[in-house]
């Protein structure tokens, strides 16, 4: 007999990776087999290309670090970045998976302890994280192992153990914070909005603590002396870097010193902290998890009394179908905590990054650099192009335009599909809503940027117009992509918006497009063309992408829409 926890975990993994589902459709029924193969092959190809890029980067980093005797910094940087990314994105992920899964009404009546349900969901999250780590951490471990003087067996063994433990600490921390948050939110009446605010505050807190720890690095004056001291000692920078998050030092030493007693001790410390944080999370979760979930099942009711508007007021105004669809879409999005936490996180992270830039700009050296940049003849046109790139990045990373039909899910898609709406209108409504949310979300970052850069109003207008146009183009193509292959069958909303293949594809395409246009602009500037030329040319490219998207939508929209079956 399988342990019940194990079979629970296996069932959850099966659902998460749609194993039975894919086997049924692609292997037994052989339908759309080519599509399955194509998807798998292109995922593997993309992963390989990305891994190779990371590997090259790690090798270059290693060579640089070796000059100052700090090779292990290669590992620390990778580990630290991975752990922080998992921690920052962890809050939204954990809240979605633990508290907003469709299967909770099925799981809770089962005779399981809360910690068992939590542990199974935790296992699913870990497995998802491993997929990402496989692409980003493995190449770093390989690069280090090939360059550094290590004994293969013990190095590989430690590397695998560290790899498997890597997500445990950040996800456990995010889980502990989220369980507490959701318990507190559970006491209140307006749970959705407080979940959103709380989730953002927690994420902000995590970023803030990180920034604070960074400023604890040695004071400016002693820099010279500090660096000299560092250089005299092998890999001592690791300790400094790791001060932000001590487990990352242990993870580094566990790998880089594998086979020595120092390595073993570090490994034990790392595993120990992982076990303790996981245990703490289970203990807390066992106590508070169900209370949070159950209170989430209770929707607020107000019974605000009769519908007294005989004059056609109070919301009885008529809108055009397109506008009505877009408004509804925005309401649905903004009232769903998981969507907001995932989709809007970039809207907050970019301004925070700009603020960091601003703080650093106060440094005399940086300020000098900034001044020389700001007096460059082409600074204004470059600034405008940066504004446009900012809009484009936000669109690509938000996931909003790549998942509008997926987000409806199996449960709700019947509604739109059975209404008298053409595919073209449905897509336009979704794209319009996405665009409005993105433009609104871009404003804080734009304000900070403008405060720093002080672009003249004309450049700002050019930048914003180019930005909105490029964002529209991405929205149209994104909505088309999601209409062509919506992912309707999900158990938690996280999968609809962030872990959705369409979102990943959209992000990648967005990055590639941004790189290509950016490179073209760079070449133009190098060849001595004016900023105006660069703007006109990138504007023309954007117009072409937007126009072709609209054209494809007009031609194929209705057909794609009618293919969305359930």
Partner 1 sequence: MVKAGNACLLKLEGVSKTYRGGSTKAVDSLSLEVRPGEIFGFLGPNGAGKTTTIKMIVGLLMPDNGRIIVDGHDIVKDPVSAKMRMGFVPDDPNLYNRLTGLEYLNLVADIYGVSAAERTRRINDLLSMFDLTSEVKDLIQSYSHGMKQKLALTGALLHNPPLFILDEPMVGLDPRSSRLFKDLMRSHCDQGYAVFFSTHILEVAERLCDRVGIIDKGKLIACGSMDELRKLSNETDESLEDIFLELTLPEEAD
Site residues (vs partner 1, CB under 8 A): 24-25, 28-32, 192, 299-307, 309-310, 312, 315-321, 323-325, 328, 331-332, 335-336, 411-412, 414-415, 417-422, 558, 562-563, 565-566
Report the nearest approach of partner 1 to the CB of residue 108 (Å).
17
Identify which of residues 303 and 527 has a Cβ nearer to partner 1 in the complex: 303
Q: Is 461 left (phi over 0), alpha (psi -120 to 50) or beta?
A: alpha
Taking the least distance from each CB to partner 1, the nearer of 24 and 451 is 24
By beta-carbon proximity to partner 1, the closer residue of 87 and 434 is 434
Nearer to partner 1, 26 or 155 (CB): 26
- By C-beta, is 30 or 220 nearer to partner 1? 30
Minimum CB distance to partner 1 smaller for 429 or for 506:
429
Q: How far apart are CA 268 and CA 282, in angstroms?
A: 21
| Shortest separation between residue 317's beta carbon and partner 1, angstroms | 6
Is residue 178 within 8 Å of 285, Cβ to Cβ? no
What are 521-529's contacts with CB under 8 Å, separation 24+? Answer: 521/385, 525/378, 525/382
| 492 φ/ψ angles, rounded to the nearest 5 degrees | -130, 150
Task: Tell me how far apart the alpha carbons of residues 12 and 116 are, in angstroms, rounded to a whole number.
Answer: 12
| Of 81 and 327, CB closest to partner 1 | 327
User: Taken in order 296, 176, 202, 15, is the CA torsion positive or negative?
Assistant: negative
Q: Which two tokens stand for residue 126?
A: 């870990």
DSSP-derived secondary structure letter, 218: P
Cα–Cα distances in angstroms (integers) from residue 403 to residues 293, 391, 493, in the given order: 26, 18, 11
CB of 369 to partner 1, least distance (A): 48
List the structure tokens of 261: 């007693």
How far, in Å, CA of 6 to CA of 23, rounded?
21
Residue 228 or 415 having the CB closest to partner 1: 415
Secondary structure letter of residue 221 according to DSSP = G
* CB 92 within 8 Å of CB 338: yes
Residue closer to partner 1, measured from CB, 389 or 434: 434
Query: Between residues 236 and 328, which has the closer beta carbon with respect to partner 1?
Result: 328
Query: Which residues does residue 101 pair with via DSSP β-bridges, in sequence order?
Result: 492
Q: Considering the complex, what minimum distance in angstroms separates the CB of residue 291 from partner 1?
A: 19
Sequence-separated (6 or more) residues with CB below 8 Å from residue 478: 395, 401, 402, 431, 434, 502, 506
E-state strands within 127-211: none
CB 129 within 8 A of CB 122: no
- List all residues 6 or more positions away from 377 whose beta carbon is below 8 Å from its beta carbon: none
Complex with partner 1: residue 318 or 527, whichever CB lies closer: 318
How far apart CA 379 and CA 528 sit, in angstroms, is 14
Quote the least distance from Cβ 233 to partner 1, whole Å.
Answer: 57
Adjacent-strand bridge partners of 492:
101
Residue 304 phi, psi (nearest 5): -75, 15
CB of 184 to partner 1, least distance (A): 21
Least distance from C-beta 190 to partner 1, angstroms? 11
Shortest Cβ 559–partner 1 spacing (Å) = 11
Q: What residues does 389 pair with on adjacent strands?
A: none
42/23 Cα distance (integer angstroms): 19
Q: Nearest-5° angle of CA 392, CA 439, CA 178?
A: 90
Shortest reach from residue 94's CB to partner 1, in Å? 21
Which residue, 120 or 403, has its beta carbon nearer to partner 1?
Answer: 403
Q: Least distance in Å: CB of 425 to partner 1?
A: 8
Among all chains, which residue has been given the structure tokens 């336009």? 428
Q: How far is the CB of 504 from partner 1 (least distance, A)?
A: 25
Place of tokens 């990138």: 538
DSSP letter assigned to residue 219: P
Q: Which is nearer to partner 1, 313 or 526 (CB)?
A: 313
CB 427 within 8 A of CB 557: yes
What are the percentages of helix, strand and coil residues in the chain, rounded to 5?
80, 0, 20
Q: Least separation, in Å, of the C-beta of 399 and partner 1?
A: 18
- Using the minimum distance from each CB to partner 1, give the nearer residue, 419 or 530: 419
CA distances 432 to 373, 398, 429, Å, are 37, 15, 5
Virtual torsion, Cα 369, 372, 374, 380, nearest 10 deg? -120
Closest contact distance (angstroms) between CB of 419 and partner 1 is: 5
| Residue 36 CB, nearest approach to partner 1 (Å) | 12
* Cα–Cα distance for residue pair 72/75, rounded to 1 Å: 5
């Amino acid at each position: 007999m399988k342990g019940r926890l194990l079979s629970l975990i296996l069932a959850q993994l099966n659902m998460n990776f749609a194993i039975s589902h894919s086997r049924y459709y692609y292997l037994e029924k052989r339908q759309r087999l080519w599509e399955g193969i194509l998807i798998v092959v292109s995922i593997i190809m993309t992963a390989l290309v990305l891994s190779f890029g990371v590997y090259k980067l790690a090798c270059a980093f290693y060579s640089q670090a070796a000059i100052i005797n700090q090779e292990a910094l290669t590992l620390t940087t990778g580990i630290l970045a991975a752990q922080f990314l998992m921690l920052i994105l962890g809050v939204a992920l954990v809240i979605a998976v633990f508290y907003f899964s469709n299967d909770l009404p099925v799981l809770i009546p089962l005779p399981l302890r809360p910690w068992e349900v939590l542990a199974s969901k935790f296992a699913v999250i870990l497995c998802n994280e491993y997929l990402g780590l496989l692409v980003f951490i493995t190449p770093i471990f390989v690069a280090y192992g090939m360059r550094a003087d290590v004994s293969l067996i013990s190095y590989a063994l430690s590397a695998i153990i560290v790899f498997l433990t890597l997500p445990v600490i950040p996800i456990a921390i995010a889980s502990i914070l989220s369980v507490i948050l959701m318990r507190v939110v559970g006491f209140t009446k307006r749970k959705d909005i407080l979940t959103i605010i709380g989730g953002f505050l927690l994420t902000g807190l995590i970023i803030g603590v990180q920034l604070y720890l960074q400023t604890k690095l040695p004071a400016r004056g002693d820099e010279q002396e500090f660096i000299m001291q560092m250089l005299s000692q092998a890999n001592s920078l690791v300790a400094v870097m790791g001060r932000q998050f001590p487990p990352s030092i242990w993870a580094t030493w566990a790998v880089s010193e594998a086979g020595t007693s120092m390595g073993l001790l570090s490994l034990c410390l790392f595993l120990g902290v992982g076990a303790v944080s996981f245990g703490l999370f289970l203990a807390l979760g066992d106590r508070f998890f169900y209370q949070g979930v159950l209170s989430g099942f209770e929707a607020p009711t107000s019974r605000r009394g009769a519908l007294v508007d005989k004059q056609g007021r109070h919301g009885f105004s008529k809108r055009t179908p397109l506008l009505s669809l877009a408004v509804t879409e925005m309401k649905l999005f903004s009232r769903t905590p998981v969507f907001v936490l995932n989709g809007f996180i970039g809207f907050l992270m970019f301004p925070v990054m700009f603020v960091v830039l601003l703080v650093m700009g106060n440094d005399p050296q940086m300020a000098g650099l900034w001044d020389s940049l700001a007096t460059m003849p082409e600074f204004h046109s470059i600034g405008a192009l940066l504004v446009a790139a900012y809009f484009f990045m936000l669109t690509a990373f938000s996931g909003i335009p790549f998942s509008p039909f997926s987000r409806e899910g199996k449960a709700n898609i019947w509604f739109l599909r059975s209404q008298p709406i053409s595919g073209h209108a449905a897509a336009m409504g979704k794209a319009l809503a996405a665009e409005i949310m993105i433009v609104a979300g871009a404003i804080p970052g734009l304000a900070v940027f403008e405060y720093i850069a002080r672009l003249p109003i004309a450049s700002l207008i050019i930048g914003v117009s180019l930005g909105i146009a490029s964002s529209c183009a991405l929205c149209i193509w994104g909505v088309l992509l999601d209409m062509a292959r919506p992912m309707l069958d999900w158990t938690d909303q996280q999968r609809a918006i962030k872990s959705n293949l369409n979102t990943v594809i959209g992000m990648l395409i967005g990055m590639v497009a941004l790189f290509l246009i950016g490179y073209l602009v760079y070449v133009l500037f190098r060849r001595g063309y004016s900023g105006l030329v660069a703007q006109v040319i990138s504007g023309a490219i954007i117009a072409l992408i937007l126009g072709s998207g609209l054209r494809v939508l007009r031609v194929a929209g209705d057909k794609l829409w009618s293919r969305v079956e359930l």
